[in-house]
Amino acid sequence: MYNILSITSYSGVGKTTLIEFIVRELSKRGYKVGTIKHTCHDFDIDKEGKDTYKHREAGASKVSVISKNRFSYIEEVNQEKNLKDVIALYKNMDLIIIEGYKKYRFKKLEITRKNKYIDLISNINDLIGIVSDITYDLDIMQFKLDDYNKIADYLEECIIKNYIQVSENDLDYIIN
């Protein structure tokens, strides 16, 4: 079983800021929080000149670096990695926050802003909260953009009450 929350919005609305706060606050409270970010852009987290970079440049398909405090793994792929396989790497987390994958049916917090966009993009049945400077006529928890502590309290309650819990079998339904 996993506790999974999707943070949904368009670009430039504040997803990363909200995720940073949630991770920081729930970690302070003793929760282990992991994040998964989806991007449609190519990316590289390795640094030119480092040994792992040189290994990849030489043709290594998989590269890991391991220390007593960290483990990093980079894999060259021909197609996008299956999200269910990635989630399996987070077994020991109390909460997994997913950014992106808007169409997948995870429980969601959606962020909107008057000056960016006001229409909700999430399926109403998946929404557990809205973070916005707009008030919606919906029976869903709503938070102001800077209500970080209230949001963290609410998410802690969701974890405790298993409201955002997803089973292995549910993942097949949610992701497909």
Which pTM value belongs to this model?
0.86
The whole-number pLDDT of residue 60 equals 86
Q: What is the mean pLDDT of the chain?
A: 88
Q: Which domains does the chain have, with CATH numbers?
A: 2-43+80-175 (3.40.50.300)
Residue-wise pLDDT for 61-77, tens only, equals 888 888 898 887 778 77
| CA 98 – CA 87 distance, rounded (Å) | 10
Dihedral (Cα; 45, 10, 106, 76), 10-degree rounding: -20
Going from the C-alpha of 126 to that of each of 69, 76, 95, 111, 140, the distances in angstroms are 36, 33, 17, 14, 10
Residue-wise pLDDT for 98-111, tens only, equals 998 888 899 999 99
Mean pLDDT calculated for residue range 83-93: 90
Residue-wise pLDDT for 110-151, tens only, equals 999 998 888 899 999 999 999 999 999 999 999 999 999 999
The whole-number pLDDT of residue 43 equals 53
